[in-house]
Structure 1
Amino acid sequence: MWHILRQVARHGILTEPPPRIEEADRARIDRIHAGLLEILGQALAIRAVDAGSCNGCELEIQALGNPYYNIEGLGIRFVASPRHADMLLVTGPVSRHMEEALKRTYDATPEPKLVVAVGDCGCDGGIFGESYASCGRVSNVIPVDVVVPGCPPPPMDILRGILSAVRQRAQALAGR
């Protein structure tokens, strides 16, 4: 212990500098944030549902909460109950054991609800496809508004997919 304290006193606390945010990336993120606020005008509550994925997409979804993307600052938040959600963010091929749970989650989400399928597995079944253990793509079980392909898709693409779903809903409501 004393050895470590002497080393800290001698050299100081060494840390890496914070990562540089490229100006183009920051401008792109700011445009997406402004678009979301313009369309929504209020907070967006998202319920993330893992329907049988490998957790790669979940890692990218969790990255949306870090200070680089800062979706909390926009008023976009993840909720624990589908009854409080405006959007379902579904990952993975739907396993047979999750089929009924996903349908119930969809039914519990209040109207107007949005569904975004994230990752290749959610979009088209990925490497798993349809089998005795898998229903395949999310749209085989519940209606999907937007798909975000990739294995796993980067957080920026997921954010674009969320914005795209919200825009489509806003246009549909304005066209009524």
Structure 2
Amino acid sequence: MFKVIERLLGDKIATEKIALTGSERFRGKITGSCTVAMRDACVKACPVGAFMTADNEQGYAVDYKKCIFCGRCVERAMGSLQHSREEAMPVITEDAVEVTAEVIRQKLGRSLHVRHLDAGSCNACDFEMGAMSNPLYDLHRYGVHVDASPRHADLLMVTGVVTRNLEQALKMAYEAMPEPRLVMACGACAAGGETYGDSYAIVGAADQVVPVDIYIPGCPPRPSAMIAGLLAAADMLAEKM
């Protein structure tokens, strides 16, 4: 027991800075170029329709709201395409993360209050959300708190593709929030709505039911990406107040 206490006291602080670049095995933005034949093969291989042909230098485009980062397009391109280590979040930079943390304290003048609503997820995004509160990511250091009621929330954080059974619950949660209010679609299901294809039980992406202000791509997104999105949302909320 004493050895455990000694080790805990001797260790450095575990909390890390929020980084928008992953490890070597992390699948981030898709980079590179490929031939027309490879591109067409990538389009057919994409299970959610995120990889598309485009009239640009690369000849393709990726809808990161739909992308689940499965790597099938990279496999079909046989080395011509690669996953970078960058998060697919073009509006947020690592420098902005630290700056935006100050926004919560200075511009907003209080904590950012978040209400989570699972509209029909597989719970992968929800597990990553839980990790935001552990000592490694320490969400609370930024003044972000999760509330039990939408009536106390500034932001509605939606995970999962919206199912028919929870469509009304999503609408009611949004309508119960005070103005100004924001909605974040977290993960490929809530952001893109194509993960499970067409089904009588599914409405689709969150923005088909309520207006969405910020999208967090990934299947599931990393906790650091979620926190970066929350901090960006705090900046947006401060502008609305």
TM-score tier, shorter chain, comes to 0.7 to 0.9
**Post-superposition CA distance 1:41-66 (Å, at most 9, x none):** 21111000000000111111111111
**Aligned partner (choices 175, 192, 195) of residue 124 of structure 1:** 192
1:106 equivalent in alignment to 2:170: no
Secondary structure of the 2:116 match is strand
1:158 equivalent in alignment to 2:226: yes
Using a 3 Å threshold, how does the CA distance of structure 1 residues 127 and 31 change in structure 2: closer, same or farther?
Answer: same
Q: Which has the higher helix share?
A: 1
Show the counterpart of 1:50.
Answer: 118
Secondary structure of the 2:165 match is coil
How much does 1:161 deviate?
1.2
Q: Hey, what's the Cα distance between the residues in 2 that align with 1:22 and 1:113?
A: 29
Q: Which runs of 5+ in 1 are unaligned?
A: 1-7
2:18–2:224: 8 Å Cα contact kept in structure 1?
Answer: no
When structure 1 is superposed on structure 2, of 50-59 and 158-167 the one drifting more is 158-167
1:46–1:88: 8 Å Cα contact kept in structure 2?
Answer: yes
2:114–2:153: 8 Å Cα contact kept in structure 1?
Answer: yes
2:187–2:218: 8 Å Cα contact kept in structure 1?
Answer: yes
**Post-superposition CA distance 1:85-131 (Å, at most 9, x none):** 11100001000000001100001111111100000000111311443
**Aligned partner (choices 136, 139, 143) of residue 68 of structure 1:** 136
If the length of structure 2 is used for normalisation, what is the TM-score? Answer: 0.59
Matches within 5 A, 1:1-176: 25=19, 30-31=98-99, 33-173=101-241
Aligned length: 163
Q: Which runs of 5+ in 2 are unaligned?
A: 20-93
How much does 1:138 deviate?
0.1
When structure 1 is superposed on structure 2, of 162-171 and 90-99 the one drifting more is 162-171
How much does 1:156 deviate?
1.1
Task: Return the letter of the residue paired with 1:124.
Answer: G
2:158–2:206: 8 Å Cα contact kept in structure 1?
Answer: yes
Provide the alpha-carbon RMSD of the alignment: 2.7
Show the counterpart of 1:4.
Answer: none
If the length of structure 1 is used for normalisation, what is the TM-score? Answer: 0.79
How much does 1:72 deviate?
1.7
How much does 1:33 deviate?
3.0
Secondary structure of the 1:40 match is coil
Q: Hey, what's the Cα distance between the residues in 2 that align with 1:49 and 1:87?
A: 11
**Post-superposition CA distance 1:3-43 (Å, at most 9, x none):** xxxxx89xx65979678666785x97755533443442211
Q: Hey, what's the Cα distance between the residues in 2 that align with 1:153 and 1:109?
A: 25
Between the aligned residues of both structures, percent identity stands at 40
1:128–1:136: 8 Å Cα contact kept in structure 2?
Answer: no
Secondary structure of the 1:97 match is helix
